Structure 1
Amino acid sequence: MDVRDLRRVMIFVEDLYEEMELWYPKYRLEEAGFEPVLAGPEARRTYQGKHGYPARSDASFYDLEERDFLGLIIPGGFAPDKLRRIPKVLDLTRKFMQARKLVAHICHGGWICASAEVVSGFRMTSTPGIKDDLVHAGALWVDEPVVVDRNMVSSRRPDDLPLFMGACLEVLESSILPF
């Protein structure tokens, strides 16, 4: 399948995800004509957000492959701390990076990228709470609302979501333009 035919974007989900950082990207992707796929450890399971709002996964990430998606978005909350311990999550994240497809993370989402060992030499941001983790993994951390470095987009917190998704959509659109 040609990458220009892809419109699907994977979004990781697990219990204690940050609601705004999942739902805002999901709706913005839909508005822009993309197909967001909520991928959790189990297919069609309901995961509870930090504030109790449910999100039902579309698929299990164990059944998915990077080649079938245009990009990956990693919401924050405490879910990334759980997800970064799962080898399949780290493998998917590495494969998106190796394919130079969108890898976008906000707030604590950068934990997954640090654990996947894909941040070294990348300029990025996050919540200040994981700054040290990213720096120790080799990232060039800055305190800015949104940072785009090659195929990686990062932001700090829910207030940054409009800029975050604007940058994500730019990266996605540029990856499907005719060559």
Structure 2
Amino acid sequence: MERIGILLADLFDEREFLYPYYRLWEAGYTPVVIGLEAEAYRAKSGLTWEAEVAAREAPPLAGLIIPGGFAPDYLRRSPEVLALVRKVAGEGKPLGAICHGPWVLVSAGLVRGRRVTGFFSIRDDLENAGGLYQEEGVVVDGLLVTAQGPKDLPAFMKAFLGLLKG
């Protein structure tokens, strides 16, 4: 089975992690939970989940998802996470980010000239990084899928899985 990475750090949005995690399994992919380190992380709700591998040790991936919450603010500070995100994008693999997840794309230098969306509070960040902010629930630009929040999870995962299937 092809492996799809899901990034995790403290204060992740559990809905934006769990929904993609189980949808990937259901679609026949193997989700690989990737953290700053291979350790347990706490969601905003208090739920904890173990990252299987640190970003610097991530295996080859067929795609990558960045859930929201406050976690992206920690993830975007990690050179190893940014290198992984750039690698996946550079290999022409699907990349998805929801809610505050596009913050990581900003720090990785991947939004300039791209149609993107995200939680309304990061609109300025996306536009200041050269992104073309769209007031839509889900936006697909090439192999990049972004979404505004949990209500958009079904459409977000439908778009992401569609890109994985080519």
Runs of 5+ consecutive residues of structure 1 not aligned to the other structure: 1-5, 175-179
Match of 1:115 in 2: 107
Find the aligned partners of 1:158 and 1:51 in 2 and give their Cα distance: 14
Size of the alignment, in residue pairs? 166
Q: Among residues 7, 11, 14, which one is paired with 2:6 in the alignment?
A: 11
Amino acid at match of 1:46: A
Q: Among residues 27, 34, 39, which one is paired with 1:32 in the alignment?
A: 27
Runs of 4 or more, structure 1, over 2 Å off, are none
- RMSD across aligned positions (CA): 0.9
User: Does 1:54 pair with 2:59?
Assistant: no
Give me the TM-score of the superposition, normalised by structure 2. 0.97
Aligned-pair CA distance for 1:169: 0.3
Runs of 5+ consecutive residues of structure 2 not aligned to the other structure: none
SS, match of residue 165 in structure 1: helix
Match of 1:87 in 2: 79
Aligned-pair CA distance for 1:29: 0.2
Question: Which structure has the larger Rg over C-alpha atoms?
Answer: 1
Match of 1:145 in 2: 137
Find the aligned partners of 1:109 and 1:64 in 2 and give their Cα distance: 19
Find the aligned partners of 2:161 and 2:65 in 1 and give their Cα distance: 11
Q: Deviations over 1:65-90 (max 9, x none)?
A: 5xx11001000000000110110111
Give me the TM-score of the superposition, normalised by structure 1. 0.91
Q: Among residues 151, 155, 165, which one is paired with 1:163 in the alignment?
A: 155
Match of 2:36 in 1: 41
Aligned-pair CA distance for 1:152: 0.1
- Tell me, yes or no, if the aligned pair for 2:24 and 2:30 is still in contact at 8 Å: yes
